[in-house]
Amino acid sequence: MGTTERVAIVTAASKGMGAAIARELARRGYRLALFATSDAVATLAGELGGLAVRGSVTEPADLQRLVDATLDRYGRIDAVVNNTGHPPKGDILAIPDADWHLGLDMVLVNVVRLARLVTPAMEQAGKGAIVNISAFGAVQPGAAYPISSVLRAGLSAFTKLYADRYAAAGIRMNSVLPGFIDSYPDTPELIAQIPSRRFGTVEEIAATTAFLLSDEAGYITGQNLLVDGGLVKGI
């Protein structure tokens, strides 16, 4: 079955930023293919009239099922939001190799794999947009989350390389780098670090993501956009 409405894939869509992004895209008229490991993704898809696919972003076969099911249901893929959980933490030299490899699959290689799968459909359509939900650690690494910091910096590099390669085909890729967001508990110590003196909201991340997917952002590609209330100190 095909559709002339825009179709978006959202991964890790069952809660937090992923669910908020799914709701915002549905509000803007997108048809959705929602992907997550949790049963809750089916509930949200039912609420939004979308397709639910259960699986893990670390499993290539699951990503293939996601893309195949989306094309079977809608006949097109206009947008992708690469969202995922946080990789393991630990003291930088105490982290075992297995956790680094898991983090690589969670943060970076999953984006490469999904790009391989959706780019042909976008090339055929002559247009497409991808947004990667990253983190502020990509530009301000933190000792509390070394795997995330290292690999999200790599994701920023991939974002730029992909964007340059496929810009002439009408396909854009950008990354959103959230600061502290209200899907996680706040503390006075964390609030004090943020110039805005508050956590961001999942709805603010969703609105930023939807903008980057939209035609209004049609000349924005290869960018890594901080949405952090001024948290990052660099310029």
pLDDT digits (tens, 9 = 90+) for 29-47: 999 999 999 999 999 999 9
Is residue 233 included in any domain, yes or no?
no
Is residue 75 included in any domain, yes or no?
yes
**What pLDDT score was predicted for residue 210?**
98
Domain containing residue 164: CATH number: 3.40.50.720
How many domains are contained in the chain? 1
Is residue 1 included in any domain, yes or no?
no
Q: What is the DSSP letter of 183?
A: T
Is residue 2 included in any domain, yes or no?
no
Q: Which residues contact 27 (CB under 8 A, 6 or more apart)?
A: none
**What pLDDT score was predicted for residue 3?**
63
Q: Which residue type, as a one-letter code, is found at position 217?
A: A
- What is the mean pLDDT of the segment spanning 174-185? 94
Domain that holds residue 118: 7-227
146: left (phi over 0), alpha (psi -120 to 50) or beta: alpha
**What pLDDT score was predicted for residue 177?**
98
**What pLDDT score was predicted for residue 234?**
86
Taking 60 as the threshold, does the pLDDT of residue 180 lie above it? yes
Average predicted confidence (pLDDT) for the chain:
96
The CA distance from 78 to 133, in Å, is 17
Is residue 235 included in any domain, yes or no?
no
Query: How many alpha carbons fall within 13 Å on the CB side of residue 204?
Result: 16
Q: What is the DSSP letter of 52?
A: E
**What pLDDT score was predicted for residue 114?**
98
CB 145 within 8 A of CB 188: no
Taking 60 as the threshold, does the pLDDT of residue 1 lie above it? no
Q: Which residues contact 147 (CB under 8 A, 6 or more apart)?
A: 87, 88, 89, 90, 95, 99, 100, 103, 107
Is residue 79 included in any domain, yes or no?
yes
Q: Tell me which of 30, 74, 145, 162 is the catalytic residue.
A: 145
Alpha helical stretches, state H, 75-145 = 97-104, 110-125
Q: Is 233 exposed, middle or buried (0-12, 13-18, 19+ CB in 10 A)?
A: exposed
Is residue 232 included in any domain, yes or no?
no
**What pLDDT score was predicted for residue 161?**
98
Question: 2 falls in which pLDDT band (50, 70, 90)?
Answer: low
Taking 70 as the threshold, does the pLDDT of residue 229 lie above it? yes
**What pLDDT score was predicted for residue 195?**
96
- What is the mean pLDDT of the segment spanning 149-163? 98
Taking 60 as the threshold, does the pLDDT of residue 152 lie above it? yes
Is residue 22 included in any domain, yes or no?
yes
Does the pTM exceed 0.85? yes
Question: 235 falls in which pLDDT band (50, 70, 90)?
Answer: confident
**What pLDDT score was predicted for residue 183?**
87
**What pLDDT score was predicted for residue 117?**
98
pLDDT digits (tens, 9 = 90+) for 92-123: 999 999 999 999 999 999 999 999 999 999 99
The number of beta carbons lying within 10 Å of the beta carbon of residue 1 is 6
CA angle 76–25–35, rounded 5-degree value: 65
Provide the percentage of residues in the chain whose pLDDT is more than 90.
95
Instruction: Based on the residue annotation, tell me whether 145 is a catalytic residue of this protein.
Output: yes
* Token reading at 218: 């049609």
Neighbour-count burial for 55-65, b at 16+ CB within 10 Å, e otherwise = bbbbebebbee
CB 88 within 8 A of CB 102: yes
* Token reading at 41: 């993704």
